Structure 1
Amino acid sequence: MPTAAVDDDDFQQILKQTRQFVRTVVVPREPEILANDEVPEDLRDQAKEMGLFGYAIPQEWGGLGLDITQDVELAMELGYTSLALRSMFGTNNGIAGQVLVGFGTDEQKAAWLEGLASGKVASFALTEPGAGSNPAGLRTKAIRDGSGWLISGEKRFITNAPVADLFVVFARTRPADDDGPGIAVFLVPADADGVEVGTKDAKMGQEGAWTADVRFTDVRVSDSALIGGSEDIGYRAAMTSLARGRIHIAALAVGAAQRALDESVNYAATATQGGTPIGNFQLVQAMIADQQTGVMAGRALVREAARLWLTEQDRRIAPSAAKVFCTEMAGNVADLAVQIHGGSGYMREVPVERIYRDVRLLRLYEGTSEIQRLIIGSNLVKAALRKQ
């Protein structure tokens, strides 16, 4: 197994500090994040000081250098509170930052990674009105123009777009052919001419986690903006980065489910019906048992998927299996949490009401549950056919 850049003793300190930050500093301010649809600036500053904006960026570029097995442990802690906290720096460490880490040139890494690790924000601009979980339907175009490129197209639901410093933009340079899908990825500064960020989306949940549409109109970039210096890297970069990100999202779901479970147990132990704690009722105990079982299974699956990724044994099926199971599990656990709370669970500012809305998105972004099932099933069948 590859050696982690951060040894276990140091990582345990990072994990302890993150847990303390989440549970003693952020959790009490969840109502503020909910009411203002914004993570307070002082919490953002504390996250920067802790290195959270670059925890998965290699140390040589100013990050903490956590590997994927450490990433998921951290994500399970971050999932315990409002998912807006993790969203502030999630794209830096995940789908956007990992494109640079895994596929960027040394010059591209030097230009951007240290800034991202210290608090600048990168956005992953892949999704479009007609291309979501399957990038093959991409319509944004990059046309060769002299020594550079002109990029035009519209992206949708782009996380952190209103505060981004950099857009990692996927664009079609040619129709798909025998040589590949014809999708390249470009580094586009947010202040480049022709970049227009739309109004902040109003969403069902995840208040404080900002998304918006982004329009690119004849945005000129140089050849140095082409990730890896190759037109044919884009699709592979997207698929690799998304697969890694799916393990992270699965871990995030486990953290949110653990919070919903804890809220349920605490409520069951204190709320009474006819003078008896509702936790004494067997049907309530059965719901709590199902929650606990789901959380434990999800945690084990996430850790196994991260191990398989790190050792390069499975970077296709395991990430999708972890994401579909854990995000669906988190939805079930949150639903049971509302049920256990009864009418109180439907009231705004009760934690399980927020969790119920927050986790619903986890089954949609970075590949829907349906896409994950297709990936799992098709890869298993292809493997069986190859053996014939």
Structure 2
Amino acid sequence: MENIYMDYNASTPLAPEVVGTMKPLLQDYYGNPSALHWSGKPVKEFLHKAREQVAELIACSPGEIIFTSGGSEANNLALKGFYFKNKHKGNHIITSKIEHPAIVNPCKFLEQVGARITYVGVDRYGRVSPEEIEKAITKETILITVMHSNNEIGTLQPIKDIGAIAERNGIAFHTDASQSVGKVPVQVNDLKVDMLTIAGHKLYAPKGIGALYIRDGIQLEPLIHGAGHEFGLRAGTENTLLAVALGKACEIASKEVGNHRIKDLTDFFWGSLKGVFGERVVLNGHPKERLPNTLNVSFVNKIGQELLESIPCLAASTGSACHAGSIELSPVLKEMNVPEEVGMGAIRFSLGRNTTKEEIDKVILLLNKIM
């Protein structure tokens, strides 16, 4: 049987247009974008265009986009960079208990060097309460960081409400939008965020490239010191090849956001699962406020990993790809108080541009055979 890929939240295939955009930089345009001669100038133009394309997707200025090696570096720059530059104003950071490790572990590191972190819980749908965020604010609070959407269950957070609270209290606000950008509308002024993380390989660009939006006026200490690349915030000759790829991916995404095809497929998938398995299958996450491509379901009294091992042609996840291989209850589901007999059977199906209805029908058939 042909392989079926339903793990788009873990990584996406390169869009053909992205591959095409990269080709000239693999052969003809090899100069350093900082060089002032004939070889450097066109490469600098490629880089500038890529920055404009990323900026357009999230409605900001190109000068507010910093290219990074991915979402993890962008998150580290946002948290560590802000803390070290602004700790004279206070040492308190607020985040949620269901953040990606690329937020949780930088927070743990900052606790070792003097930061105080408050981890706010979530409700049964995996949603943070803006009121709980506001209650956690102290005179020492300098930064709030809450993910735009959860990578495991797809639940969308009330970012706009939290942003309004941060703005009202004069506190910087960062969101990790790695899973959201390209799937749902994400505009920085609408969300009232000061920093926002983008990961290329979540939106059909290569691995190893990402970006951090930094609102004009926000001061960060660089993680990488050297020459003044990326507006002085990330030293090192720019990876123009991958930046151009990310730019093209963002250009494509800007035309696709709002297209209901993938959401319709996800809804069809969930309806089919309920039709076949009834009460034996449970939805994890918010029924409406979630990513249009993400379906995290639990097969009651089953082990999700064992189900996937029984269908080797299917690529899906038992939760975050960063925890794959573990049969322990997902920390996200734990925080949502999902019972163990339900949570252990969790599988995250995440659909994408290449997913078809025929593939969904095949997966339902295969699951029914092993249940």
| Greater fraction helix | 1
TM bucket (normalised to shorter chain) is under 0.3
